[in-house]
A = this chain, B = another copy of it.
Amino acid sequence: MAGSSFGRIFQVTTWGESHGKGLGAVIDGCPAGIPLCEEDIQRFLDRRKPGQSRFTTARREGDQAVILSGIFEGKTTGTPISILVENTDQRSHDYSAIKDIYRPGHADYTFDQKYGFRDYRGGGRSSGRETTGRVAAGAVAVKFLEELGVHVDAYTRSIGPIEIDAGRFDLSRRDENRLYMPDPEAAKEAEAFLESRMAEKDSTGGVVECVIRGLPAGIGEPVFEKLDACLAKAVMSIGAVKGFEIGDGFAVSRARGSENNDEFCLDSQGNIKKKTNHAGGILGGISDGSDITFRAAFKPTPSIATPQRTVTRDGEEREIVIKGRHDPIIVPRAVVVVEAMAALTAADLLLVSLSSRIDNIKAFMKRS
């Protein structure tokens, strides 16, 4: 595991770099009997695709998912699901401008240090295009979770200083704008803000929020494999994420215990629930049955048209001006990546939890 695999039972391995023959994912450990077709995956890839708006690059990637294995008569068989997305745009480009120079905010320098050289074409494996495999695999995890009544929804919470308004929040309207903001007014303001950043040849960061609904209580392991710890790793492993918080997040550092504790009560059917959800749905690393909510902070796109100082591979100081058209913000296309990583995490930990109790295992033995 040099780090291209994720999960212990529901496990994905991704591969591919921005300018090779393609990218893909192999999902091993997906239970048998789940309906799955290429269209299920395509819907997710389309949300990640460039060229959706004037704030995303125009490169026509196509990104057509092909399922190569693991499906029989429309259902998963329990064997590995291999998904291939060919790179259609393989024209030879001129990379001489970045071949021997370290772009600020990119992984050029660290790849060279780690491996001794790098595939400099479009960032190679450190390109945002690497997330294609994650999204394809996440689509499978979502399909599995939906069979169980578990739903994962991510959306843009803020773009630079423009944040969605809790009062106007409407998840059903998320896809109405290409910024994936579930608040049309905030989306309009954010578009104006992005225009101004682009005019300044600059970029901005933002925040993605995600909610997992329907996960039963009891998912997650109590020490190192806490559900929130696993979500943190999953989300922080997305390039450009610099912060992660669950529930009230960093605000807890200034809160009082008496405010921050969620009191338990009974609902009208007599079931145990919490009056509030400062904890974000997790207690002691284990889901408590309420909504799981978390946020991820994305840094501004590092590729900007403004001249920057840097050094070459050979140790000379230089100015670099990054050419080509680049998104002024990463967030909108990253929304589906966050959703994918959350789904992969929830699917995996749910399967790990099947073995917590002897009574569940006895029930399994009876059926088999």
Contacts and interface: CB of A to CB of B under 8 A. Distances in A.
Interface in A1-51: 1-6, 8-11, 13-17, 20-24, 26, 28-34
Given A17-B79, A105-B257, A284-B111, A300 B68 contact: no
Interface string A206-243: 11000000001111111111101111111111010011
A78 interface: yes
Contacts of A216: 113, 365, 368
Main secondary structure of the interface of A (DSSP, over half): mixed
A148 B297 contact: no
B68 A297 contact: no
Given A32-B115, A223-B130, A160 B253 contact: yes
A353 B98 CA distance: 26
Counting every copy of the chain, the complex holds 4
A61 to B, nearest CB: 16
B113 A218 contact: yes
Given A257-B203, A356-B115, A2 B78 contact: yes
Nearest to A230: B233
Interface stretch (A52-60, A116-124, A169-177, A179-187): A116-124
Interface residues of A, number: 169
Contact of A264 (B14, B102, B149, B287): B102
B242 A361 contact: no
Nearest to A298: B253
A117 B357 CA distance: 10
Contact of A250 (B113, B226, B243): B243
Nearest to A207: B253
A68 B309 CA distance: 35
